[in-house]
Structure formats: structure tokens, C-alpha cells
Amino acid sequence: MSTVSLKELVKVYGREIAVRGIDLEIPDKALTVFVGPSGCGKSTTLRMIAGLESISHGELRLDGRLINDVPSRDRGVAMVFQSYALYPHMTVRQNLEFSLKLAKLPAEEIELRVARAIGVLELGPYLDRKPSQLSGGQRQRVAMGRAICREPQVFLFDEPLSNLDAKLRNQMRVEIKRLQRRLQVTTIYVTHDQIEAMTLADIIVVMRDGIIEQTGSPLDVFENPENRFVAGFIGSPQMNFFDGVVGLSEGRAYFENRHLRLPIMSTRFGDVVTGGERVVAGFRPEDIVPEGHGVDPSHGIELISKVDFAEMLGNETLLFSSVGDTEFISRMQQPRLVEPDETLAFRFNVERMHLFDAETGRSMRTAANKPTEGGIHGFEGKPNGSGDYRVASDRGDERPRGGNSTLPR
């Protein structure tokens, strides 16, 4: 069993706070992905776990054992770096054996571990080659093999695919997922690429400015973003946002601005909206359906708009249009050629609309439905499909952004 526990973990460089008191429990055998923009603290957190950075404050535990001051070599972790960090003058076999020889393991044990890594990663044909004679993907597999040879309790990956081309990155992503499932080792993976995070992770940890914005399974985070930042960061293309206010009419609540009037469904938002409140509506590209090119939503509101330009992707087309001064992207299924400045009818699926508080950025749907927080389980409280709309009397409680920061921003 290899669980990792972070309690009020802080990293300070001079007067700069890189990690702001994060709390996280990483379960045994899970593949946990830290994702966020550059400078959010994800790699710094990984390096503290690895023992490559000192911990300014807080506790780091592996299987309940405090390891704040334990040297990196004695922590039971193995790290795969973005730059591969292979010894250029050594062959593949020598790279795999090197750390084991430093640890003065018996020759039989070294041979056994190296043979296992070679078999798992299919490195047999490359054993006598040096790193300069390998492709980028082969070098990355050697780096992973070196980590496997150490038989760690926890694997750490620091943006290992960043230097690879798109096709090889896709192949290596599958290999890493398959490898982790086969070895059943707790794995922590850092990336800035949300597609990598969504496809690899059992648990996603979304970070910004040194704090954790949201933790959950990929589906949890995608379907139930806790704030506007997470909603915009997770998903490709990103979610479309429209500024507006809550309007009331005949006992119903609506999202309104100069160009849109969309019903707010009580089955999705409960009683958290108030008349006159400034909000931001969010729609993912697949929830704005070009007429005749996708599943027609049962609660759809039509908008006529001119297409500024289109991106043909083969199996689908992304259409770039606008409403007023706000650009939006829609996803056209079963695509056809779209002429420049062609006018199309789009249907906004209000059953999939997100609402965010304009000031705090917090999701109003999260407040209404209270999904499981910080876990990896499914969303509770699903719409009942009645399609009615209800006016709310007041707002639900809100947590401060991040919910786990112990230091001031």
C-alpha cells in the first residue's frame, strides 16, 4: 500500500510563495495528475514529494510515515524527468543498471530487475545503443525503465511527453497508462496539457497560483467545474462564456443580456439564483448545436448568427461565431463545407448550461447540487428532466476560492 498525504504544504522562495498550503490525499495505486498553467506550483509540489525541493511548511507522508527530511534516495520514489536525464556515454543497459549498482545490490538482483524493465517496455533491441542513437519515444521508455528498476512505492512524472511530437505523444500516453495499470504502482503525473490529464488520470488535481482549485475524477471535473477557471481550463476547445444578469418573469428565472434570454432550469440550479444578480453563463462547444448537425436538444433556444470562420477537423468542424461582442465556438457533427459569412441557426442546450457568480467565479450549480467534494465519485443530485423553471429566493453558501489555502494571496 502506497498512499501519499499532503497537509498544509507550503513552498516559499524568498518573498514569493509558490505553493500556498495545499491539502491532498492520494490513494494507493491511483494515477493522479496535477494540471494547471505554467507557474501554478504543480512541478514544485512534485519536486517536494521527490525530495528535490525542501518543504517550507506542512507535512508530507508516505504510507503515514513523515518524510519531510528523508533524503530523496530513501523515500521510495522514482522520478521521470521532462529531459529524460539519461547518461549520454552509457548504453541503454548501463543506464538501467547504474542506480542499482550505486545501491550495491547483488548482481543477480540487478539482472532480475533490469530484465523485468526490458520485458515491460520492450527495450530488448536497444540495449547496446547509446541515448544519441534513440528516438525521443525510445529515450522516454529508457527513462521509465530506469524508474521501474528501482521498484519504487511511488512513480513521479514531470511533464515527460513535452518534448515529443503529437503522434508520439499520443502513443506514449497510452503506454504510460497501460504501464501504470500493469504495475499497479501509485503514480503522480504533472502536465500543463489538459488533454493528457483527462485521458490519463484516475484523479485530476487542478492547480492555479499555488493552490488546488478542484480535485476529482476527469468526468467529475469536466461535468461539475467548481469555478470559472476550472470550467475554462478543462475541455478543448474551452467553454464559451457570456456575461449577463438573472431576470425574473412570471415566476421563472432567466439568464439575460442584450442578445440572449435563456431559461434557468430549477432541476439544474435549485434555489441559488436571485433576480438582478450578475452572472456568467457557460456552454461547452458541443452544447451549442448548429441546426441539423448534432442531437437537437429537448430544451434548446435558437440563435441566428453569422459564421466568421470554420476549422475543419475531418470528423467534425469547429465554427467560430459571435453574439454581440462575444465570440463563441460550436461543434458541428457530420460536417459539411461552411461558406465564409454563412448564416446558421444554433440551438443552445439550456439543460447543459453552467452559471458562475460574476464576482467570485464560483459555480452556482455546485452550490445548488453539492457534488462530492475532493473525491473521485460521481455527481449526486441529477436533473429529473421535468423541464420546469423556478425563481430562487436567496443564494447558497460559498467557499472561498481554492478552499485550502492557509496563506494570503
Q: Is the pLDDT of residue 295 over 70?
A: yes
Select the more confidently predicted residue: 407 or 352: 352
CATH class of 4-228: alpha beta
Residues facing 328 on adjacent strands: 321
Provide the pLDDT for residue 293.
86
User: At 305, is the secondary structure helix, strand, or coil?
Assistant: strand
Give the tens place of pLDDT for each residue, 150-175. Answer: 889 999 999 988 877 888 788 888 88
CB 322 within 8 Å of CB 305: yes
Query: Distance (Å, rounded) from C-alpha 285 to C-alpha 26?
Result: 32
Cell of 30: 491511483
Provide the pLDDT for residue 366.
55
Q: For 17, list phi and psi in degrees, rounded to 5.
A: -100, 110
Q: Where are the domains of the chain?
A: 4-228, 237-369
Long-range contacts from 372-379, C-beta under 8 angstroms, 24+ separation? 372/216, 372/220, 374/215, 374/216, 375/215, 375/216, 375/220, 376/30, 376/202, 376/203, 376/216, 376/217, 376/220, 377/217, 377/220, 378/217, 378/219, 378/220, 379/220, 379/223, 379/224
In the Cβ-directed half-sphere of 194, how many Cα atoms lie within 13 Å?
19
Q: What does the mean pLDDT of the chain come to?
A: 86
Provide the pLDDT for residue 367.
54
Query: Distance (Å, rounded) from C-alpha 23 to C-alpha 10?
Result: 10
Fold classification of 237-369 (topology level): OB fold (Dihydrolipoamide Acetyltransferase, E2P) (2.40.50)
Read off the pLDDT of each residue in 266-284 and give the average, rounded to a whole number.
88
**4-228 shares its CATH topology with 237-369:** no
Give the tens place of pLDDT for each residue, 75-112. Answer: 999 998 888 889 999 999 999 999 899 889 999 999 99
Query: Distance (Å, rounded) from C-alpha 322 to C-alpha 328?
Result: 5
Q: What is the pTM of this model?
A: 0.83
